[in-house]
Structure 1
Amino acid sequence: MVAAGTGPCAVEQRTVGFVGKSPCEGSGQGARFGELEHGVTVDTTRKVSAPVPRLLHPPDRTGQWCPDLIRSVDSTILMMSITRGRRWTPAGPDPGAPMEFGIFSNGYTPGPAAHDSESEHTELMREAEYAILADKHNWKYIWFGEHHGLTEYSHMSAPSPMMGWVAAQTDYIHIGSAITSLPTNKEHPVRIAERAAMLDHVTNNRFEFGTGRGAGSHELRTFNVMDPSVTKAQWDEVIREIPRMWEQKDYDFDGEFFTVPTPHNILPKPYGRGHPPLWVACGNPPTFAKAGSMGIGAIAFNFEPIHNLKGRVDAYKEAIQDPVDQIGQFKNDNVMMTNACICLEDRDEARAVAMAKGRGYLVTMVNMYHDTMPKSPDAIVWPNPPRDPGWTEELLDMAIDGGYMLCGNPEEVCEQLNNYKDVGCDQVVFGLPTEGLTHDQTLEMVELFGDQVIPEHDGDRVHSTDRYRARA
């Protein structure tokens, strides 16, 4: 037993041997692993529910990979987690294409809390608490929104510090931006590329780069974007250039919306192989096929019956099979769907929360602030109060069957998730906190869903985006 480092961040380490033949034996790289006697240095300060194989980063960007390690993942039991900064990811085929799960954090601060500094602080730090707890209970992703001036709906205006805070206290969960808006009036693209690459380092390759045009005219006008339609072309220009910034040592550009007039080396470069997986928000139907044609992940929003989205998901899946407009170094074949979930041990308690008044409050704010997204003509817009449908057991069942939400005990929710699998969703993400749930109930749900539901749909401890990135 050895101690790693000193001070408050020190961790206790031990060496765990491989079961069977050393993965690097005969590969010409035995010396690298021989220092550990064919073992892996692991962090034993946190409980790991299952082994997580990871692909070891070379000591520098030109180092050699261990091919036998990649080939032998299926037959060799490896132990996670390697001391931070050194990770394994198998590059082989995805075993069974599981459906993955994540949490969406948006800084939701409703009611009087939005106008009280202490309450606002409590709400923001609770969202970090959910992410840190989720890391220990099989959740693969935590996504942080970014909005500006959207009172009550989202106080998450600067997610990067929050992502760094969460990264320092987690080992497994991937940390994503959902989304980083790319209008050039708001921020120069070089700054965005620099920040994303830095997050790739501080998260040890766990950063997911979600992008988009921006949520609506209200916050775009904060940055003097008076015509939201122009952001479509701005996003298209910027998303193509950021991978080039990461790859080139002498980058310059003279575009329609931004310029880098003299060659510069944009630093830091992403950590190790490839770059953070690329995603785009698909608030409008045509964006699905566009995302597929560019070979990037699709972030979708479930504001209508889930099966209505199947045609859009199919269009994405068809386009991404052979992306004709590929950007970046690898294809990220992923549809992420956001929705609401109330999963508690007591099904009656879960259903009572779902039927309580106030469940539509968040939706009324979505209808106001996200005014560039399509919605029904009779949508209720905040500050008008949500229409009380007089919830009954029958109406709740109709909402669940339609895929508007998941609700019940773990067994019921596990079955309801088949609707999302049928549509073709690769990842399902739930916004927390959910209206009606107390803080303690939310913590219960993170643990319960993670321990009892996720293993039934996702038996693969490796993130799909790690697999895709390993092919870069």
Structure 2
Amino acid sequence: MEFSMIFEAQLANPTPERERQVLLDCVEQAVYGEEMGFDRVWAVEHHGLERYAHMTASEIFLSWVAAKTSRIRIGHGVVCMPFQYNHPVRVAERVGMLDALSGGRLDVGGGRGSTRMEMGMYGVNPADTYPQMEESLRFLANAWRKDEADWHTDLLDVGPAKIMPRPVQTPHPPLYMACSKRDTVKLAAELGVGALVMGFAGPEEVKEMYDLYHATIRTRGGDRLVGPDTNDKFVALCPTIVLDDPDRALRIGARGQRFFAEAIAHWYGHGPAPAEDTEDDDNIAALARDKEALVAKLNEANIPARPQDTGAFNAEHAYGTARDAIEYVERLADIGVDEIMCLVQMGTVPQEAAMETIRQWGETVIPHFRNKA
């Protein structure tokens, strides 16, 4: 089992100065992650989502991290792949450049960029997002199999053309897809790409998605695979704050998760912007109230409340001591998860708490599972 961190550059109370600082803080955390034994860092790509994700040019962030490290893998988790966000040829050029400069350390995921804000900024038609994301993944899986890319479909017409530079990893870096619901987990398995499962709902929901992913792999044919080189890796999100004081870790974690949940509700569900609260607020109770309000709203509309809708309001994650984190990760390990993707950098988490969490994972949590292996 591998261990990674994901960065969104979430930011409470944004100002230009604080925005720059949070980006530098993310770099510091990523570089420290290599020292502490993490295997990979992921960076999202979002546009216009103030507070929730200021990581708009993730390839630049990843280049900065790659230049300051030597071993840790760098992951585009994920690239917005509808063509008006990023043309497939441009994605391939970025992939080749990042993989070449990092010495073959790149992983690449595809996503839809599906908020109304992002689609409006770039003029993306929601109906195009799934087919264009899939087409872009197919193009990436085949761009370097011959000397020239020669790709002609109903969606994309390219070539013959050389896609430069070529990546170090042949024929391409490992491919993934963002998965927040069962339909996308199933699609990732059918396409033969890794699943980046972003849900908050906890181990029970992770197990259901893991089982669906592998059941689909066992029964899939080859007609939907994006390429002949499959990546059947299942990566699960793990929100975590680890400190010597478990109560403070839980308070900080619940506060950060509440900020995250409100940001998601704002940008994906058109709710209010995240509130500016304090570490002393009862964020666990607030998460429970917010969950109850959401369930009631869904019930009124005769819509079933699914774990993917309510999971972000669940604070039962790896918040506490290193022992608490180990016990939580054991549950994910028992499921068979291939990689634990730690979410530490949430909008209200102090830098010192993030760095201490990374240290405790590196000195205690990760070695526990390495030694067990």
Match of 1:205 in 2: 104
Q: Distance in 2 between matches of 1:162 and 1:156?
A: 8
Segments of structure 2 that go 5 or more residues without pairing to the other structure are 289-310
Aligned ranges 1:155-194 → 2 under 5 Å: 155-194=54-93
Q: CA contact under 8 A between 1:176 and 1:207: conserved in structure 2?
A: yes
Aligned match of 1:376: none
Structure 1: gaps (5+ residues):
1-98, 372-379, 462-472
1:431 is the counterpart of 2:333: no
1:383 pairs with one of 269, 273, 276: 273
The separation in 2 between residues aligned to 1:451 and 1:156, in whole angstroms, is 28
Rounded to whole Å, the distance in 1 between the matches of 2:144 and 2:94 is: 11
Cα deviation for residue 443 of structure 1 reads 0.9
Which position in structure 2 is the counterpart of 1:420? 332
User: One-letter code of the match for 2:271?
Assistant: V
Residue 104, structure 1, aligned to residue 6, structure 2: yes
Report how far residue 266 of structure 1 moved. 1.4
CA distance in 1 between partners of 2:169 and 2:263 (Å): 41
Alignment partner of 1:445 is 2:342: no
Partner AA of 2:39 in structure 1 = K
Q: Residue 12 of structure 2 contacts residue 347 of structure 2 at CA under 8 Å; is this kept in 1?
A: no
For residues 147-195 of structure 1, what are the alpha-carbon distances to aligned partners after superposition, in whole Å with 9 as ceiling and x for unaligned? 1111111111111111111111111211001110111122221111111
Match of 2:370 among 448, 455, 458: 458
Is 1:360 aligned to 2:258, yes or no?
yes
1:235, distance to aligned residue in structure 2 (A): 1.2
Change in CA separation of 1:460 and 1:213 when aligned onto 2, cut-off 3 Å: farther
Q: CA deviation at 1:222?
A: 0.9
Out of 239, 243, 247, the position equivalent to 1:344 is 243
Tell me which amino acid in the other structure corresponds to 2:49. L
Q: Is the CA contact (8 Å cut-off) linking 1:275 and 1:329 kept in structure 2?
A: no
Deviation at 1:278, TM superposition (A): 0.3
Secondary structure of 2:168's match? coil
Pair 1:285 & 2:187 matched: no
SS at match of 1:381: coil
2:332 and 2:218 map into 1 onto residues whose CA distance is 20
Deviations 1:296-341 (A, max 9, x none): 1001112324302322211211233465233335322211122311
Aligned-partner Cα distance in 2 for 1:318–1:344: 38
Corresponding position of 2:122: 223
Task: Give the structure 2 partner of residue 145 of structure 1.
Answer: 44
Moved more, 439-448 or 128-137: 439-448
SS at match of 1:119: helix
Q: CA deviation at 1:293?
A: 2.1
Residue 236, structure 1, aligned to residue 148, structure 2? no
Letter in 2 for 1:103: M
Structure ID, larger Rg? 1
What's the counterpart of residue 147 of structure 2?
A: 249
The verdict on how the C-alpha distance between 1:258 and 1:268 changes in structure 2, with shifts beyond 3 A counting, is same
Q: Does structure 2 conserve the Cα–Cα contact (< 8 Å) formed by 1:148 and 1:157? A: yes
- The 8 Å contact of residues 75 and 107 in structure 2, kept in 1 or not, is answered as yes
Instruction: Give the corresponding residue for 2:213.
Output: 316
SS for the counterpart of 2:94 is: helix
SS, match of residue 216 in structure 2: helix
Q: CA RMSD in A?
A: 2.6
Q: TM-score w.r.t. structure 1 length? A: 0.67
- Paired residue for 2:233, among 319, 328, 334? 334
Show the counterpart of 1:294: 191
Q: How does 1:51-90 map to 2 (within 5 A)?
A: none
What is the rounded CA distance, in whole Å, between the counterparts of 1:197 and 1:188 in structure 2?
14
* Among 105, 122, 133, the residue aligned to 2:21: 122
Q: Check whether the contact 1:353–1:437 (CA below 8 A) recurs between aligned residues.
A: yes
- What is the CA–CA distance in structure 2 between the aligned matches of 1:418 and 1:458, rounded to whole Å? 12
Residues of 1 paired with 2:64 and 2:212: CA distance?
Answer: 37
In structure 1, distance between residues paired with 2:345 and 2:274: 22
Task: Give, as a single letter, the amino acid of the residue that structure 1 aligns with 2:227.
Answer: G
- The answer to which structure has the higher helix fraction is 2
The percentage of aligned residue pairs carrying the same residue is 27
In 2, the alpha carbon distance for the partners of 1:267 and 1:352 equals 48
Deviates more, 1:317-326 or 1:130-139: 317-326
Is the 1:292–1:316 Cα contact (8 Å) retained in structure 2?
yes
CA distance in 1, matches of 2:241, 2:265: 22
What CA deviation, in whole Å up to 9, does each residue of 1:370-409 have, x standing for no partner?
A: 35xxxxxxxx9232749987747xx8xxx99x77421111
Number of the residue aligned with 1:83: none
> Is the alpha carbon distance of 1:275 and 1:168 closer, same or farther for their aligned partners in structure 2, counting shifts above 3 Å?
same
Give distance in 1, aligned partners of 2:88 and 2:338. 29
CA distance in 1, matches of 2:84, 2:24: 30
Q: Per the alignment, in what secondary structure is the counterpart of residue 319 of structure 2?
A: strand
Q: Find the aligned partners of 2:22 and 2:79 in 1 and give their Cα distance.
A: 21
User: Which residue in the other structure is 1:265 paired with?
Assistant: 162
Greater relative contact order (CA < 8 Å, ≥ 6 in sequence): 2
Give SS of 1:241's match. helix
Q: SS of 1:240's equivalent? A: helix
SS of the equivalent of 1:209 reads strand
Inter-CA distance 267–384: structure 2 relative to 1 (3 Å threshold): closer
Residue deviations 1:206-247, cap 9 Å, x none? Answer: 10111111142210111111x313211111222112221121
